[in-house]
Amino acid sequence: MNFIETRGNDKVKPCEVTFSEAILNPSASFGGLYVPKELPKLEEDFLKKHLKSNYKELAFDILKAFEIDISDEQINEALALYDKFDNPSNPCPVVKVKDDLFVHEQYHGPTRAFKDMALQPFGSILSSIAKNKDEKYLILAATSGDTGPAALNTFKNKQNIKIACMYPDGGTSDVQRLQMVCEDGQNQKVIGIKGNFDDAQTALKNLLSSESFKQELENDGIKLSAANSVNFGRIIFQIIYHFHSYLELLRQEEIEYKQKIYLVVPSGNFGNVLGGYYAKKMGLPIEKLLVASNENNILTEWINTGVYDISNKELILTKSPAMDILKSSNIERVMYDLYGAKRTKELFDNLNENSKFELTKEETKMLQDEFLAINSDDKYGAKIIKQFLDQGYLMDPHTATCLKAYENLREKDLKTVIYSTAEWTKFSPTVLNALKQDNKTYADKEALEEISTKYNASLPQSIKKLFSSKIIHDSVIDKQNIEKEIVKFIRE
């Protein structure tokens, strides 16, 4: 299967590329993204075949259905990284919390967040391709807190790879920051920037499309790629776990074949939701995708009104920081699928020039046929965290935003899966505030210890050891100095 471009072709880049080419060089014409030329159909027979499969067997068959130009050996080597999860055969369990509500726990990997689900195997495949081609790559990552640790973990000390990760200084939890700045791989550079995630992501996209920067790397024999969800190598693995959700409900005898369900996803950059959208297009019986935003409610506004306007918005730092995003990359892939390349380019040109765009009424209806959206604030999140722990279930502040969608957006009485994208341990001060119903400032270590002791919550060894780890990366720079800092890194 080949991949094509969301904004059309500039007559310089190839009109179509293979999967390996798309992940090695993820920047498409006119600053666009790569998408599959077509999606495979995986319907009832496929689900029946995999009712008793483990996660790796399911993932293998979905990847093969895309006809990617990656060998079976490389795929199996990548999927073997799920052995690093708490339960390799079921790395993301689906847990029943109410009669019609289930939590898909995506945080049982090495860095305790859902980014491990895609980045662990993706990193293996990209590294394997680079090694086989005998090419050296610089991998760029911009993070709002979870992509960074997962990318650093998967690419650590990989042959032919260097990785530079940018995070917003002060815009992540302490645990997320420590997971990055304490990484001791020989091929890693972690850079704090004076700005927010949108600044980091914009810098990443600018570098990916910068011919002068690429030439600078070429002078050192290095090519450029990215670990963010602008790279379809991330997205393809984010399709798989939505099929897993449905199969888990079948296994638990909560639904029957062809019975539709709702998926609720907390979202900032729209990659996780996009995976669900593709799964639905491929045949998974999903009624609608429910999108949960925090106070940075740009996605809610876009879906509900058809207007995407960041011209007068300031990013709000919330207690669910991984969703503190205004420039959402993966809405582009949905827009391409709904409206085509010409219209997508027109809309994104408007966004780049005027910081906004507006869909027509017909386009907005097409969007709303697939998605519903709602946003909540930190006060609501705190209430939900306490409410669910009182009932015996501990969740993080991102997961808590999903309950607003569950309570308000469902149009039918259907079973619903919400996606828990991070473990509570990554946001323990916020969780402790919610449980104690106070506004005190707690250190992460203090909050972790109190919650694990008082509420009998498991504390992974990987989180415990962070607080005695040595800080390796202490760079915090102005965003205009990012390129200079990265060039310096690759020449060290």
Question: Is 343 within 8 Å of 8 (Cβ atoms)?
Answer: no
Distance CA 62, CA 46 (A): 9
**How many C-beta neighbours within 10 Å does residue 443 have?**
12
Closest CA to 116 of 158, 157, 88: 88
Closest CA to 21 of 182, 157, 129, 162: 129
Distance CA 324, CA 45 (A): 40
The total of structural domains in the chain comes to 1
Q: Which strand (E) or helix (H) includes residue 362?
A: helix 361-368
- H helices within 182-228, ranges in order? 197-209, 211-218
Question: Is 150 within 8 Å of 174 (Cβ atoms)?
Answer: no
Residue 482, phi then psi, degrees to nearest 5: -60, -50
Give the range of the structural domain holding residue 329, as residue numbers without chain letter: 81-111+233-466
Low-confidence residues of the chain, pLDDT below 50?
Answer: none
What is residue 67's predicted lDDT score, i.e. its pLDDT?
97
Distance CA 406, CA 373 (A): 10
> Residue 182: inside a domain, yes or no?
no
> Residue 291: inside a domain, yes or no?
yes
> Which CATH number belongs to the domain containing residue 364 in this structure?
3.40.50.1100
In sequence order, which residues have a C-beta less than 8 Å from that of residue 295 and are 6 or more positions away? 316, 318, 375, 377, 378
Q: Which two tokens stand for residue 210?
A: 């910068």
Report the amino acid identity of residue 105: E
The pTM score is 0.95
> Residue 202: inside a domain, yes or no?
no
Quote the DSSP letter at residue 287. E
> Residue 57: inside a domain, yes or no?
no
Residue 420, phi then psi, degrees to nearest 5: -95, 105
Distance CA 155, CA 139 (A): 9
> Residue 168: inside a domain, yes or no?
no
What is residue 270's predicted lDDT score, i.e. its pLDDT?
96
> Residue 227: inside a domain, yes or no?
no
> Residue 356: inside a domain, yes or no?
yes
Report the amino acid identity of residue 445: K
What is residue 492's predicted lDDT score, i.e. its pLDDT?
81
Angle at 208 between CA 306 and CA 324, to 5 degrees: 45
**How many C-beta neighbours within 10 Å does residue 446 have?**
13
Torsion angle defined by CA atoms of residues 388, 393, 398 and 402, in that order, rounded to the nearest 10 degrees: -60
> Residue 405: inside a domain, yes or no?
yes
Q: Where are the beta strands (DSSP E) in 431-489?
A: 476-478
Question: Is 299 within 8 Å of 325 (Cβ atoms)?
Answer: no
Angle at 290 between CA 381 and CA 257, to 5 degrees: 125
